[in-house]
A and B are shown apart, each in its own frame.
Chain A
Amino acid sequence: MPRDPRQGLPAVWDGYARRTLRMPGYGGAAVFMRSQVIPARESRGNGTALAFDVGLLSPDRITHYLSRAAGPGFVERLSQFLFRAASDFHPEKSLPTFIDEAMGLTISAMSSTDVRVAIEVTMIEDLRAQVLDPDSIDFETSRTVLVIAAHDLRRLGRNGDDDAPRQDLGS
């Protein structure tokens, strides 16, 4: 019988397990984020860092951007952004665009109704290129999905991002 390779490992292993954030929308679009940890030896002296694989899905394509290192306070900031996108009357007016330059990710609320919010997610295709080409997807989703994603996101980075400085979007 094959042995579970994780059996017997200390509980701290759970901190390094990859977790997935899934934010589906109407029309078959979705954004996925899968967390992973970049070991200290790979992070140019910045210690262990949190990184994400980011997937953009629509019915006619799926694109993955792998191992994008997250900027300071990424999980906290994005979680707050999603929560406010779900709870603000008109997030397209009240909510500044979420930007994480280190990851090359921006998310903005484009329009909203009392039950839905349309968001646009943009990834920079190649962060080292001289001319930065954006790859974006926009879709409508429900406010409920955004709240759930905000909560899931906190779980996603709980073990890897606690030391990052907290940034508040303000009220």
Chain B
Amino acid sequence: MTYLFNTLPFPDGSRMTNIWKASWVDDPKDANLVIGHLIRLPDGQHADVEADFLTSHLPLQAGGIAGVFIDDNPWLFVLQIVPADASAFLAGDDDPLWPARDALDRALSFNPGAEMTVELRWSRHGLIEAYEDAGVAAQRVRDWPVAALLGGLLAECCYLPLSAIVDGYRTGCAFSGIDHACELDVFNDVFARWQARLIPQPSEPVTTAGEEQEIKGSPSPEADLLEDAERAGRPSCPMCGAKESRRIALGRWGPRTPPDWHCSFCGHIWDDPNTTGERPRWLEGATEVHALAELIALTGAQTQQELCEFLESATELDDDLWLDLDAAEPNITLILGIRNEGVGLTFPFSLSDLYATITGLEKDLDAAVTDESADGEEDDSTTDDRTGDFPGAAVALTDVSVQAAQVMAASAHHGQVDKAGLPYIEHPARVIGHLVEPTREETVVAWLHDVVEDTAIRLADVQTAFGPQVADAVDAITHRAGEPSGDYYARVKANPIALTVKVADLADNTDPRRLEILAPNLRARLEAKYAIARRELGLAGSRG
């Protein structure tokens, strides 16, 4: 466990989301003092914005870390270096840390809800002792400025041993044995790799300078928490390796098997194949799983009563999704938003329609169960090999289906960017703009044309939500790994909806305004690729 995490009284389950260091230059010979403050921010404040805001008003700040407690309240720990000579000039010897405290008081006055809970102080000698406690000989850091000593203790919070940080101080590289974009500053090098989630967690070996080293540390409350998680059978996050996963019933789109797993550390959501959870009953067998059903699934409600209670206290669903409610009887408008993705969709319903739809879905379920038990094995011919057990009944698309497709695409492409670094969801939106008087089916397929190829959405999800016509078109436009391009374009040409959308897709991909912002070599490669595509589709000389 790291020195700062051991010293600060963090409750179990706290996690770090940001780390930074100011570019201080101080003289090692000065008797500088260090003061650190742990600040609890009000519920709902954005830790990273508040960290940047606060430290902009602290001229003496040297760095810090930010994160959230297990109750999701954000916190900051801010370090300030007080030049001893200036302090004596301003405040005499009675309170040499006064300038830092006063600056913090002034900065916190701009955030009245923030509360300073802990103050820690160090002398230069005390910082060196922290290194000695970690097994680093004092003479190796004796000449370091105070800012560098603090930088090392901060970098250690990224779970890299202090000894490795000291090793890299002279060269400015913390990972000399690993091919990486070096920051030429050992501390920033560690921060960048931690922010890229490339530093293993304490339970895993840390590789640095070409050698494998085990992180050693005394047992701590956080280590106990991880052990508890393992005992409870929680899986490690496949993205970051953390064992801070929790089950979530607030699923994403479609008939996946909730509860999924959600990593509290990095936010990744994934299915656990070993989990067999119960799904909301009305989603089983539903052939019209549209936006409303998605909203029902998002609430996790199992009964109409639960849904009503949820709607009466609509609130944020999780870190990425929020559901808001504008209830003006007898109509109700649900607003589904995806944070940081710039998406906010409204779904106007009357309450009677809401309940009628739920009831209808339940009846569908009952009918499906009855038919299945009566007909036995006779329905094999309707089962699509690609979609397994999902029903293949025709679905009449509505405007709500189009909105539902937009939500599905936005949630599936959440966090993805295109080659120009823009949110990926803008691409299907532009593809729709290239369609001429599109049908609902074409619009839905345009929204979804990349979800099976590039996201975790399965074709079965698309079929269940939008029916076989849409699923077939999405399937036709989905490129299989290793598939020859001739086979791919032949399949696209055989499906009229897929062909229409693919032409619009190419029109967007070859838009000169989009291509001109790409690097020249990438642009040339893509232009050649799209020229082949247009020729294969028989579009040479025309624009979609």
Contacts and interface: CB of A to CB of B under 8 A. Distances in A.
A26 B344 contact: no
Interface string A58-92: 01000000000000000000000001101111100
Interface string B317-333: 00000100000000000
Q: Kindly name the residue among B48, B49, B110, B417 whose own CB sees the greatest number of chain A CB atoms within 10 A.
A: B49
Nearest to B417: A114
Given A142-B48, A142-B49, A24 B343 contact: no
B46 interface: yes
B46 A148 contact: yes
Interface stretch (B334-342, B434-442, B470-478): B334-342
Given A27-B56, A28-B56, A87-B337, A144 B46 contact: yes
A90 B343 CA distance: 10
Contacts of B57: 28, 59
A20 interface: yes
A89 B53 contact: no
A122 to B, nearest CB: 20
Contacts of A114: 340-342, 417, 422-423
Nearest to B316: A147
SS class, residues of chain A in contact with chain B: mixed
Interface in B322-368: 322, 337, 339-344, 346
**Which of A22, A29, A114 is the most central at the interface, judged by chain B CB atoms within 10 Å of its CB?**
A114
A145 B110 contact: no
A24 B49 contact: yes
B482 to A, nearest CB: 32
B44 interface: yes
Given A20-B112, A24-B50, A144-B46, A115 B340 contact: yes
A30 B107 CA distance: 12
B102 to A, nearest CB: 16
Contacts of A87: 337, 342-344
B304 interface: no
B320 to A, nearest CB: 11
B23 interface: no
A49 B194 CA distance: 52
A141 B110 CA distance: 16
Contacts of B55: 28
A145 B52 contact: no
Q: Which of A28, A115, A142 has the most CB of B within 10 A?
A: A28
Interface string B28-57: 000000000000000011101110110111
Question: What interface size band does chain B fall in?
Answer: 20 to 34
B285 to A, nearest CB: 34
B426 interface: yes
Interface residues of A, number: 29
Contacts of A24: 49-50, 53, 110-111
A148 B44 CA distance: 7
B340 A143 contact: yes
Interface in A141-163: 141-145, 147-148
Contact of B49 (A83, A89, A145): A145
Given A24-B53, A24-B111, A30-B53, A89 B46 contact: no
A89 B340 CA distance: 10
Contacts of A59: 56-57
B530 to A, nearest CB: 24
Contacts of A84: 344
A129 to B, nearest CB: 29
Given A22-B111, A89-B423, A144 B339 contact: yes
A114 B429 CA distance: 15
| Candidate in B52, B426, B429 with the most chain A CB atoms within 10 angstroms | B52
Nearest to B423: A114
Contacts of B56: 26-29, 59
Nearest to A144: B46
A140 B56 CA distance: 13
A84 B322 CA distance: 14
A60 B44 CA distance: 27
Contacts of B417: 114
A25 B341 contact: no
A27 B340 contact: no
Contacts of B344: 83-84, 86-88
A145 B337 contact: no
A25 B49 contact: yes
8 smallest CB-CB distances across A and B, nearest first, come from A28-B56, A87-B344, A24-B53, A89-B342, A114-B423, A26-B52, A115-B340, A144-B46
6 contacts: A24-B49, A26-B56, A28-B53, A88-B344, A142-B46, A144-B49
Given A26-B53, A144-B339, A145-B46, 12 more contacts: A20-B112, A24-B49, A24-B111, A27-B56, A28-B56, A59-B57, A83-B344, A114-B342, A114-B422, A141-B49, A147-B339, A148-B44
Interface of B: 44-46, 48-50, 52-53, 55-57, 110-112, 322, 337, 339-344, 346, 417, 422-423, 425-426, 429
Interface of A: 20, 22, 24-30, 57, 59, 83-84, 86-90, 112, 114-115, 141-145, 147-148, 171
